[in-house]
Structure 1
Amino acid sequence: MIKVTKLKSQGCDFVVNAELIETIEETPDTMITLTSGKKLIVEESMDEIVRKVMEYRRSLFRNTR
């Protein structure tokens, strides 16, 4: 799970299941498309989201050792 901020929501954070992210686009706002087809527009950049997903997956791997 990764924490992101809804666009123009004055700090309204929510958590997204990183395993359900299908695509991330900057158009120029950052849009996350989930495998269900649902689209989320967030304040974080595409690079920030990719970094968060990578950190999340690394933490899963560390816990399996």
Structure 2
Amino acid sequence: MITVHRLGLEPKPFLLNCDLIVMVESTPDTIVTLTTGDRIGVVETPAEVRAEVARWRAGVQRLATRGGLDPTHVGPAEVRALTADHHRR
């Protein structure tokens, strides 16, 4: 999951499952379209969303190949879940 900030008077951070992202577009606000059809306006630019998704996926790949994960880009619950799954193999 990645952290992004919902558009509004006071941008509010939330976690977004990046596996649900279908499209990120700038209209000029950044709109994230999900597999559910929901569209969410976020503060981040499309390039920033793409970079966060790439960072998340790289962390998962590191876990799968070397057993290490950068916890600065993943919440504690995700680290525990991914680590537990890795140790079961």
TM-score with structure 2 setting the length = 0.70
Matched pairs, number:
65
Shift of 1:18: 0.4
Shift of 1:11: 3.5
Shift of 1:8: 1.8
Unaligned runs of 5+ in 1: none
RMSD: 0.8
Distance (Å, rounded) in 2 between the aligned partners of 1:29 and 1:60? 29
Structure 1: 4+ residue segments shifted above 4 A: none
Q: Which has the higher helix share?
A: 2
TM-score with structure 1 setting the length = 0.95
Q: How does 1:1-65 map to 2 (within 5 A)?
A: 1-65=1-65
After superposition, the Cα gap between the structure-2 partners of 1:64 and 1:9, relative to the gap in structure 1 and judged at 3 Å, is farther
Unaligned runs of 5+ in 2: 66-89
Q: Deviations over 1:9-60 (max 9, x none)?
A: 4131001000010000000000000001000000000000000000000000
CA contact (8 A) 2:25 2:32 kept: yes
Q: Which has the higher strand share?
A: 1
Q: Which amino acid aligns with 1:48?
A: E
Provide the identity percentage.
Answer: 35
CA contact (8 A) 2:32 2:41 kept: yes
